[in-house]
Amino acid sequence: MIAQLRGVVVSVAETSCVLDVNGVGYLVFCSTRTLGSLPQGTVTLLTEMQVREDAITLFGFSTSAEREWFALLTTVQGVGAKVALSILSALSPDQLIAAISAGDKAVLSRAQGVGPKLAIRMVTELREKAGGMPGGGAAGIPAPVAAKGALADALSALTNLGYKRIEAEAALNRAVEAHGEGASLDVLIRAGLKALAK
């Protein structure tokens, strides 16, 4: 099992790169997120290797969080390696945690190859596991708010104003931290808009 490669990127295609490791060129399939983050010179890619009767395929990742999400996503029926990379190209680990925890099928369906039925299956099968998965390591997106009462109304108001659900949830999390769970709708919307403006 090849778990990591260190070498020089000699070419980059739409969904893959060739990594020269001591004179041997490895074809590694990656998300656009990983391909976009490849520096010049020597790089290290964490890898997953899939062995089938007709092929041995390497998948590369710039972060351990992305590799762990790839492994988890491919446990869902209907999510093969290609679709998993498409999902990781469209959504960061932080966004995946937020979307799956919130049951946001529309966000998951942004990824090429993910239709409504597959998005529902992903939410159903991964919701309990998503919270324990690694995020992107940045301040990231907080866990989604449990939308009830004024909070649900504030979330609806912000998404109707054109903000993405994930961004609105993160802003409302900060509003609840600042003003408490009993904050009024007016306070939540104002605090949410202020957080989004930053």
pLDDT band at residue 198, thresholds of 50, 70 and 90?
Answer: low
What CATH topology corresponds to 64-130? DNA polymerase; domain 1 (1.10.150)
CATH class in words for 4-61:
mainly beta
- The tokens describing 60, both together, are 């590369």
More confident of the two residues 163 and 50: 50
- The tokens describing 6, both together, are 């260190």
Q: What is the pLDDT of residue 68?
A: 94
- Evaluate whether 67 touches 24 at the Cβ level (below 8 Å): no
Which residue has 């395929």 as its token pair? 57
pLDDT band at residue 24, thresholds of 50, 70 and 90?
Answer: very high
Of 99, 121, 124, residue with least CA distance to 110: 99
- Evaluate whether 18 touches 25 at the Cβ level (below 8 Å): yes
Q: Do domains 4-61 and 149-197 have the same CATH topology?
A: no
**pLDDT score of 146 more than 70:** no
> At a CB cut-off of 8 Å and minimum separation 6, what does 127 contact?
100, 101, 103
What CATH topology corresponds to 149-197? Helicase, Ruva Protein; domain 3 (1.10.8)
- Evaluate whether 190 touches 157 at the Cβ level (below 8 Å): no
**Averaged pLDDT, 60-81:** 94
**pLDDT score of 142 more than 50:** no
Q: Where are the domains of the chain?
A: 4-61, 64-130, 149-197
Residue 71 and residue 46: Cα distance in Å, rounded? 12
Mean of pLDDT over the chain: 86
Q: Is the pTM of this model over 0.85?
A: no
